[in-house]
Each structure stands twice: as C-alpha cells, then as structure tokens.
Amino acid sequence: MAVAAAYGGGGVGLVGVLAAGTLIGQAKLARRTIGIAQSPPPRCDGVYGAEAAEAAGEIPIKLAILGDSSAAGYGVELPRETPGALLAAGLSERLHRPVMVRSMAVVGAQSADLVPQRETVIEWQPDLAVVLIGANDVTHRVRLPVAVAHLAETVRRLREAGIAVVVGTCPDLGTIRPIAQPLRWVVRQWSREMAAAQTIVAVEAGASTVSLGDLLGPEFAAAPERMFSSDRFHPSALGYASAAAAILPSLVAALREAPEAQPSLSHGEGVRSLAQAAVEAVDRAGTEVSGARVAGRETGPAGRWAQLRHRVRQLTERPHDPQTAHSTPARSAAE
C-alpha cells in the first residue's frame, strides 16, 4: 500500500467509488441491527488492584479510555470484560500498583467526536490515555485527512498536558462477516489505509501506536461464535481480551519511569522511516510503532524515524468488577 494513499484518502480508486453506496447501505443495516441492543456497554470506571492500594498506601495510576464502541466495550455484559477493565487490571498486575480507570468512549464515535472526550480527559489529568478510533470513520467514509487530523490534534493536546498516549489503530473491518464479498475486500483496503495514516500522524504527534489489524481474523475464522458478540460486528469478551493483550505491553512501556533496556531485536524489528514502519505495522497485528532517534536526530532522508517492535502479548486474567468509590457518573454510550 502506497504511503500516498495513506495521506491522500484516494481509497481503492474506482472500485471504492462504485462500491461506496452499497457499502454505506450495508453499514447502515449493521448499525440498525446494533441499535436494538437492550443496554449500553457496562461502565468500567473504578479502581483495579484496590487491595494493593490499601496495603501500600499508593496513589493509583490514572488511565483514561477514549474512542468508539471498541473502546467502550460494546457487546459484553460485565464491567470486567471491557477493554478499560482488562487494561487497568493488567497494568496493576505488572506494575504492582492500583489503577484508576475512566472511560470517555462513546458508541458510534468518529474521530471528530474525540474533541469533547479529550477535553474531559485533560481536565481529569491522567497518567496515560488509550485511544481506539477509526472504524466508524471507515464505515461512514469520512475523508482520511479529515479523520486523522482530529486524531493528531487529540494526541498533541494530550501530550502537551503531560499525558502519555497509546493509540490502537483501526482494526481490519474485512474480518466482519456480515459484510459480503467483494465489499469485504474494499472495506479491508479502507481500514488498512486508515490504520497506516493513523500510525503516521499519531507517532508524529508524540504517541505510540499498536496495530490491531486482523487481530481477530484467524480466531474468528476458527470460532466466530467465541470471538465476536451476538451482533457479529463487535468483539466478544474473548475478542476484547485478545485486543487488550496486544495493547498492554505498550502501556507498560509508556509508564516506565526510566527507559527500558534495549532488547535484542528479532527479525523484522528495528528503526526505519515512519512511513515504512506504518505500512509494515498494518501487515502484522500487535506491532508497536514509536518515535526514535538516529545519531541524535529525529528525522532522516525519508522523514521521521520510528522504532518498530513486535512485543509479546500479555494476557490478563479476567479481573473482578472494580471498586467504584472513585468512579464518575455513567455517561451516555448511545450512538
């Protein structure tokens, strides 16, 4: 996939133009099906690892979740099954500290809807923010430069406020079976272009990114009833756990007070131009991309330098529902 496509929003050319109307119709049908759900996603807000806090008297790490239904945990029934709960519990386990999480994510959100979410996050002043966005921009055919500009501004504002940021890039919507071929191929191309562009702008703005790509693809093909929820569009609890396992190592790295020792790099890892790293990350789910320096410089002949790394996924045992003494009132998660 050309880097020009990632910036230009050209989609897949004539095929994309001809298919757009039908795709939008299918997307609307899927959203109507989703809209009849009985309840919004459960709230994950609260403190995880609270017992450790009481024993050691430690101040909790503050974690904010921004984005769309994939960030909110649409499709699960219990707070402990949501991405926010899984990530907070995982951080608590690995850093041996309590974690307070708040979710500002809204079902149906597009990148433009990050604006009010980020303002609430900045007011709260967490240590770390996780952003999961992009799928609704793809299904609504929001122009690529417009969508990623909102993401870039959100990352910049959060970083200026001293908040570490990890972005989970747009998943491969071609794994969604209710979208029939050949449109599934088209939406896969659109998703990949969105993910590559998100990687470029987010890293340039100071975030680390994690490619979600076709993370659920192989598992879905083998057991769709286990990896996706009943609407066949959003992940199941197991699907969210798989995504959280890919994101968690990058969260741990982002919160380390001292830089971690540089590990020996495996095949396919290392420093390259940001544009090249973005394209490679799209092809392998779970790949982290972050800013890098070469000879003390952030840029080279091909632009911004980036570090590409395949971190080992870290599964987290399903946590207990959080202590809610520090939780905020539930927000509306309606589309």
- Active-site residue among 231, 283, 320, 326? 231
Residue 113 is a catalytic residue? no
Residue 267 is a catalytic residue? no
- Active-site residue among 234, 242, 290, 310? 234
- Active-site residue among 68, 69, 92, 172? 69
HEC states along the chain? CCHHHHHHCCCCHHHHHHHHHHHHHHHHHHHHHHHCCCCCCCCCCEEECHHHHHHHCCCCEEEEEEECHHHHCCCCCCHHHCHHHHHHHHHHHHHCCCEEEEECCCCCCCHHHHHHHHHHHHHHCCCEEEEECCHHHHHCCCCHHHHHHHHHHHHHHHHHCCCEEEEECCCCHHHCCCCCCCHHHHHHHHHHHHHHHHHHHHHHCCCEEECCCCCCHHHHHHCHHHHECCCCCCECHHHHHHHHHHHHHHHHHHHCCCCCCCCCCCCCCEEEEHHHHHHHHHCCCCEEEEECCECCECEECCEEEEEEEECCCCCCCCCCCCECCCCCCCCCCCC
- The residues carrying an active-site annotation are 69, 231, 234
